Structure 1
Amino acid sequence: MLTNTLAHKKFFRLNAALNARAEQQVGVLETRSPPRLGAHLLSLRKSEIRISDTEGLIYGMILAALLGMEMFNLWFATQSLGVSAGGVFSIVTYSWDFFESALILPMTLQTLSRLSEITARINKMEAAE
Structure 2
Amino acid sequence: MKTHSENLPVSVPAASAAGTLKTLARRHRHKLFFTFTLVIAENVTYLLYPVLAGVSINAMMAGELFNAMLYGLMVLFIWTLGATRRSVDTRTFARIYAGLAVSVVLAQRKKQLAASTVAARVTLSREFVDFFELHLPTLITSVASMAGAAVMLLLIEFWTGIACLAILGVLACFVTRFTRRNEALYGRLNNRLEKEIDVVTHAASHTLQRHYQVLARLRITLSDREAMGYLTIGVLAALLFSFTIVMMTRSPDLNAGHIYSVMTYMWMFVTSLDDGPQLLEKYSQLKDIGRRVATEAEK
Q: TM-score, normalization: structure 2?
A: 0.38
Whether the 8 Å contact between 2:179 and 2:284 is mirrored in structure 1 is: yes
Task: Specify which structure has the higher proportion of helix.
Answer: 1
Alignment correspondent of 2:215: 44
How far apart are the structure 2 equivalents of 1:48 and 1:69? 32
CA contact (8 A) 1:16 1:117 kept: yes
Query: Which residue identity lines up with residue 82 of structure 1 in the other structure?
Result: P
CA distance in 1, matches of 2:189, 2:266: 36
Q: Does 1:95 align with 2:266?
A: yes
| CA spacing shift, 1:104–1:78, aligned 2, 3 Å | same
1:24 aligned partner, one-letter code? K
The letter for the 1-side match of 2:242 is M
Cα gap change, 1:74 to 1:113, in 2 (>3 Å): same
Instruction: Report sequence identity in percent.
Output: 24
Moved more, 101-110 or 26-35: 26-35
Q: Which residues in structure 2 correspond to 1:102-121 (within 5 Å)?
A: 102-121=273-292
- Within 5 Å, give how 1:49-68 maps onto structure 2: 49-68=220-239
Distance 1:85 1:56 in 2: 37
Match of 1:21 in 2: 192
How many residues in Structure 1 have an aligned counterpart in Structure 2? 124
Structure 1 pair 23–73 and aligned structure 2 pair: CA distance change class (3 A):
same
When normalised by structure 1's length, the TM-score is 0.83
Unaligned runs of 5+ in 1: 124-128
Match in the other structure for 2:183: 12
Q: Is the 8 A contact 2:248 2:254 kept in 1?
A: no
Return structure 1 stretches of 4+ with deviation > 4 angstroms: none
Cα distance, 1:78 vs structure 2? 2.1
Higher CA-based Rg: 2
Displacement of 1:67: 1.6
